[in-house]
Amino acid sequence: MSEKTEKLLDRKGLRLDGRRPDELRPIKIEVGVLSNADGSAYIEQGKNKILAAVYGPKELHPKHLALPDRMVLRCRYHMAPFSVQERKSPAPSRREIELSKVIREALEPAVFVEYYPRTAVDIFIEVLQADGSTRCTSITAASLALADAGVPMRDLVAACSAGKVEDLIVLDLNDIEDKVGSADVPVAYMPNLGAITLLQMDGILTQEEFEEAVKLAIEGCKKIYAMQKEALKARYVSVKEVEE
Amino acid sequence: MTTAAPTVVRVKQKQIAQLIAKGKRLDGRGLNDYREIKIEQGIIEKAEGSARVLLGETEVMVGVKIEIGEPFPDTPNEGVLTVNAELVPLASPTFEPGPPDENAIELARVVDRGIRESKAIDLEKLCIVPGKKVFVLFVDIYVLNHDGNLIDASALAAMAALMNTKVFNHEVENGEVKIKPGFTPLPIRRHPVAVTFAKINDKLVVDPWLEEEQIMDARLTITTDDDGNVCAVQKGGSGCFTLKQVLEAVQIAREKASEIRKKLGW
């Protein structure tokens, strides 16, 4: 790709989209957007457009997969064929299978799985448009969909990435920064519990840079967490108005 | 890696956790001790490179095959690296025949990330005709016995097999690749080592064996390169970590990786 020669930071230290190094992209969240799902959320973060839906708790089929002491949490992360520059085959790729697993494991610590034995909760995530850090944006939306479905949770899970572009640790990588930058550290975090529920990294960072990136990502998670709470409130405040 | 924890182990859960609280482990190791590592290279003559790693009772074989193929359009001057993992049914009662499941895919992708991101192999040296023909490396991880910590064993086996890999000599005549007699070793630049931790009752242990894996809350793998830089991280399992635990793990992973490199002469 031709972006290789492109400068990711200008002389003032601003990024290609005009953001400061520690600035998030604009985020828009809406909760309860699908009428059939038990819970749902739609999020836009930069050009990311992602829908998450939750079905359950419900009976698990096939039954032998049910667990006697807890619910089974299932997650499917999927990218629409038109979500990226070159059409993506709709069949699940190895990347999507891995992400489905790590996203599930990022949300599971938040859910009281023992409250609903022998049941299943399905989380479906559809990336309608991808613009970098989609796993984080997906987790932010999916945790709201779980809350919207009334699944008992310890905390909301907020997620955000940090990374390195041109020797600088920056927050919330977009597509170009992810591809051309030298490291990507996605983090999911439960702010009330101080718990990291997803942590991955690829690229090369020194020990100090890695520490800085994780800390910056956690700060990003905290900002997103505030927006998640606002979006949840907005959903239920508006319901009240309709009733009046 | 196994999802269904057998009841037997759940009975032992308390014992394992209590021992770990005292800084001891059921198999006599300290919290930051690895099991014995044994490596054999060049065990499959028909593969271009191969290795077998024993990590305690965990046994992983890796074979490297090389073919000539096309480069990816975005990296026309680089050879192609593909890593695949098979959790062979003979390795554990919990492995079933069939296409790779999410555990096998995660295993392959974590090993792949360590090798790729550390730039362990000079992929540009594997280019034959830019944009047209390159060497394609197939790294196939074959788990033969599962006694825990497949990631570290597989990452070691993959590197050992790559270090043992020979590329056939060739020349290009009018765009055609001709194989010449003789071989050249694969251009290896770095030696990434993965170090995996299990979190049990809020304590971290290095190189968890099967029973520890079955009761652990969460798993964290940190891959570092020869200079101690972090090049891949993966959290797994349905638990969580504090920032302090993560930073502590990075420090221990660097020390353990350099110990392993020294012991193996890498």
Sheet with strand A168-171: strands edge to edge: A168-171, A158-165, A183-190, A195-205, B230-236, B218-224, B193-200, B203-206
* Nearest residue on chain A to B255, alpha-carbon basis: A207
Using CB atoms, pick whichever of A97, A196, A205 lies closest to residue B230.
A205
Sort B138 into a burial class: Cβ within 10 Å, 0-12 / 13-18 / 19+: middle
Does the pLDDT of residue B81 top 70, yes or no?
yes
Tens of pLDDT, residue by residue over A115-141, are 999 999 999 999 999 999 999 999 999
* B228 contact residues in A (CB cutoff 8 A): 206-207
Cβ–Cβ pairs < 8 A, chains A and B? 98
Using CB atoms, pick whichever of A94, A190, A211 lies closest to residue B247.
A211
CA torsion, ordered B156, B161, B167, B168, to nearest 10 deg: 180
Does the pLDDT of residue B4 top 60, yes or no?
no
Tens of pLDDT, residue by residue over A21-72, are 999 999 999 999 999 999 999 999 999 999 999 999 999 988 999 999 999 9
Question: Residue B194 in contact with residue B151, Cβ under 8 Å?
Answer: yes
Q: Given this model, what pLDDT does residue B2 score?
A: 42
A140-170 burial code (b ≥16 CB/10 A, e <16): bbbbbbbbbbebebebbbbbbbbbbbeeebb
Does the pLDDT of residue B261 top 90, yes or no?
yes
Q: Is the ipTM of this complex over 0.85?
A: yes
Enter the tokens of residue A240.
């009240």
- Which of A77, A108, A207, A222 is the best substitution to test chain B (most B C-beta atoms within 10 A)? A207
* A200 contact residues in B (CB cutoff 8 A): 233-235
- CA B207-B208-B214 angle, 5° bins: 160
Domains of chain B: residue spans and CATH = 35-264 (3.30.230.70)
Calculate the average pLDDT of chain B. Answer: 94
CA distance A83 to A30: 20
pLDDT band at A239 (very low <50, low <70, confident <90, very high): low
| Residue whose tokens read 């499959």 | B44
Sheet with strand A27-31: strands edge to edge: A27-31, A39-45, A48-59, A119-129, A72-79
The helix (H) or strand (E) run that includes residue A95 is helix A94-107
Enter the tokens of residue B60.
């992983």
Question: Residue A42 in contact with residue A170, Cβ under 8 Å?
Answer: no
* A102 contact residues in B (CB cutoff 8 A): 106, 234-236
Does the pLDDT of residue A6 top 90, yes or no?
no
CA distance A124 to A145: 10
Q: Given this model, what pLDDT does residue A116 score?
A: 95
- pLDDT exceeding 90 applies to what percent of chain B? 88
Q: Given this model, what pLDDT does residue A3 score?
A: 44
The residues near B139 (Cβ < 8 Å, ≥ 6 apart) are B62, B64, B81, B82, B83, B84, B111, B112, B115, B158, B161, B162
Q: Given an 8 Å threshold on Cβ–Cβ distance, is B243 in contact with A201?
A: no
Q: Given this model, what pLDDT does residue B10 score?
A: 72
Does the pLDDT of residue B136 top 80, yes or no?
yes
* Nearest residue on chain B to A202, alpha-carbon basis: B232
Question: Residue A220 in contact with residue A160, Cβ under 8 Å?
Answer: yes
* Nearest residue on chain B to A185, alpha-carbon basis: B233
Give the bridge partners for A195, in sequence order: A190
Using CB atoms, pick whichever of B243, B250, B254 lies closest to residue A196.
B243
Of the candidate CATH numbers 3.30.230.70, 3.40.720.10, 3.90.1200.10, 1.10.260.40, the domain formed by A18-243 belongs to: 3.30.230.70
Q: Which residue has the higher pLDDT, B260 or B2?
A: B260
The residues near B20 (Cβ < 8 Å, ≥ 6 apart) are B31, B200, B201, B203, B205
Tens of pLDDT, residue by residue over B155-210, are 999 999 999 999 989 988 887 888 889 999 999 999 999 999 999 999 999 999 99
Q: Cα A204 to the chain's mean position, in Å?
A: 23
Q: Given an 8 Å threshold on Cβ–Cβ distance, is B235 in contact with A206?
A: no
Q: Distance from B9 to chain A by nearest Cα, in Å?
A: 16
* A199 contact residues in B (CB cutoff 8 A): 220, 233-235, 241, 246
Does the pLDDT of residue A1 top 50, yes or no?
no
* Nearest residue on chain A to B239, alpha-carbon basis: A109
* A205 contact residues in B (CB cutoff 8 A): 229-231
Amino acid at B150: L
Q: Given an 8 Å threshold on Cβ–Cβ distance, is A204 in contact with B113?
A: no
Across A61-65, B50-54, B60-64, least confident range? A61-65
Q: Given this model, what pLDDT does residue B7 score?
A: 62
Q: Given an 8 Å threshold on Cβ–Cβ distance, is B243 in contact with A185?
A: no
Q: Given this model, what pLDDT does residue B240 score?
A: 97
CA distance A139 to B213: 25
DSSP chain B: --SS--HHHHHHHHHHHHHHHTT--TTS--TTPPPPEEEEE---TTSSEEEEEEETTEEEEEEEEEEEEPPPTT-TTS-EEEEEEEE-GGG-TT--SSS--HHHHHHHHHHHHHHHHTT-B-GGGGEEETTTEEEEEEEEEEEEE-SS-HHHHHHHHHHHHHHT-EEEEEEEETTEEEEEEEEEE--B----EEEEEEEETTEEEES--HHHHHH-SEEEEEEE-TTS-EEEEEEESS--B-HHHHHHHHHHHHHHHHHHHHHHT-
Calculate the average pLDDT of chain A. Answer: 94
Q: Given an 8 Å threshold on Cβ–Cβ distance, is B106 in contact with A101?
A: yes
Average the pLDDT over A104-111 and give the result. Answer: 98
Across B16-25, B98-107, B151-160, B242-251, least confident range? B16-25
Enter the tokens of residue A149.
């479905």
Q: Given an 8 Å threshold on Cβ–Cβ distance, is B241 in contact with A203?
A: no
By three-state DSSP, how is residue A57 classified?
strand
Q: Distance from A180 to chain B by nearest Cα, in Å?
A: 12
Amino acid at B214: Q
Q: Distance from A237 to chain B by nearest Cα, in Å?
A: 32
Using CB atoms, pick whichever of A200, A204, A218 lies closest to residue B229.
A204
Q: Distance from A186 to chain B by nearest Cα, in Å?
A: 10
Q: Given this model, what pLDDT does residue A4 score?
A: 47
* A217 contact residues in B (CB cutoff 8 A): none
Global confidence as pTM? 0.92
Q: Given this model, what pLDDT does residue B131 score?
A: 94
If we measure between CA atoms, which residue out of B127, B126, B124, B129 comes closest to residue B175?
B129
* A207 contact residues in B (CB cutoff 8 A): 228-230, 250-251, 254
Using CB atoms, pick whichever of A101, A206, A218 lies closest to residue B102.
A101
Q: Distance from B101 to chain A by nearest Cα, in Å?
A: 8
If we measure between CA atoms, which residue out of A151, A150, A177 comes closest to residue A162?
A177
Tens of pLDDT, residue by residue over A171-208, are 999 999 999 999 999 999 999 999 999 999 999 999 99
CA distance A199 to B247: 12
By three-state DSSP, how is residue A221 classified?
helix
Does the pLDDT of residue B250 top 50, yes or no?
yes
Q: Given this model, what pLDDT does residue A8 score?
A: 85
A94-107 vs A134-148: helix crossing angle, rounded to 10:
50
Q: Given this model, what pLDDT does residue B3 score?
A: 46
Q: Given this model, what pLDDT does residue A2 score?
A: 41
